[in-house]
Amino acid sequence: MEQSIKPSTEENFLYFAIKYKTALMGALVVLVALGTGAFFWVRQQKTSELEAAMQLSRIAPLMDQGEYGSAINGKGHVSGLKKIAEEYAGKYTGTPSGNMANLLLANAYYSNREYDRALSVFKSVSIANNDLAAAALAGAGDCLVNKQQFALAAQSYEEASKKADNSSLKAQYLAHAASSLQQARQLAKASELYKKVIADYPGSTGAATAQRSLWQISGNL
């Protein structure tokens, strides 16, 4: 059965991230090192970050209007997320805005229902902020759910829960993991995770979701 598509908590968080990038990502780390080479490397990184940030800011209107294809590939003189990520993202040499572009590229593919491409990009995301890194793992989980690979989705959501710093996100991702196990008919494991969400994150939205789901499956255990 085809899964219904609607903005998830992770998607909303990623969308929030692009608008408040500076607060979420923090300042660019400046390497303290001696030598002319280090000086020029740091200066080049700063220049690249400014360029990437400026290009990324032009994508926001396209995302606002749901023009995901244009956001991915560009429109007119506006570079798309794919090009920005190719030029400015990377585990060791990428800039914060370049890595953010890669994260938003994955989200745009997902919103465009291109789940295989989205999954590939989500897995390639390298980002310093733990909550954003967790959002990428949860995004991969969303893709796997839509591909009906529920056991793998559960693993990705559990990794996201461990990675996140924000307790609300931890609870939500763990509830998603339990839900995926439930869809995989692994009810005992799902029940354990639901109980963990309720015990570890009382009062959270994830705990409320877990409690309802636990009631639903209790008669089948």
pLDDT tens for residues 33-73? 444 444 444 555 677 788 888 898 888 889 889 999 999 99
Query: Bigger pLDDT: 154 or 40?
Result: 154
Do 130 and 209 share a domain, yes or no?
no
| Residue 67 shares a structural domain with residue 166 | no
| Same domain assignment for residues 74 and 178 | no
For the segment 79-128, what is each residue's pLDDT rounded down to a tens digit? 999 999 999 888 767 788 889 999 999 999 999 999 999 999 999 999 88
Domain that holds residue 208: 151-221
Q: Is the pLDDT of residue 1 over 50?
A: no
Query: Who has greater pLDDT, 2 or 81?
Result: 81
Residue with more model confidence, 118 or 216 = 118
Same domain, 3 and 74: yes
How confident is the model over 214-221, as a mean pLDDT?
79
Chosen domain end from 148, 174, 191 = 148
Of 115, 148, 181, which residue constitutes the final position of a domain?
A: 148
79 strand-pairing partners: 74
Are 19 and 103 in a shared domain? Answer: yes
Check whether 28 has a pLDDT greater than 50. Answer: no
* Per-residue confidence (pLDDT) for residue 83, from 0 to 100: 94
**Whole-angstrom Cα distance, residue 31 to residue 54?**
23
**How high does pLDDT run on average in the chain?**
82
pTM of the predicted structure, to 2 decimals: 0.78
**Long-range Cβ contact pairs of 153-162 (< 8 A, separation 24 or more):** 153/177, 153/180, 154/178, 154/180, 154/181, 154/184, 154/186, 158/193, 160/134, 160/135, 161/134
Greater model confidence, 49 or 141: 141
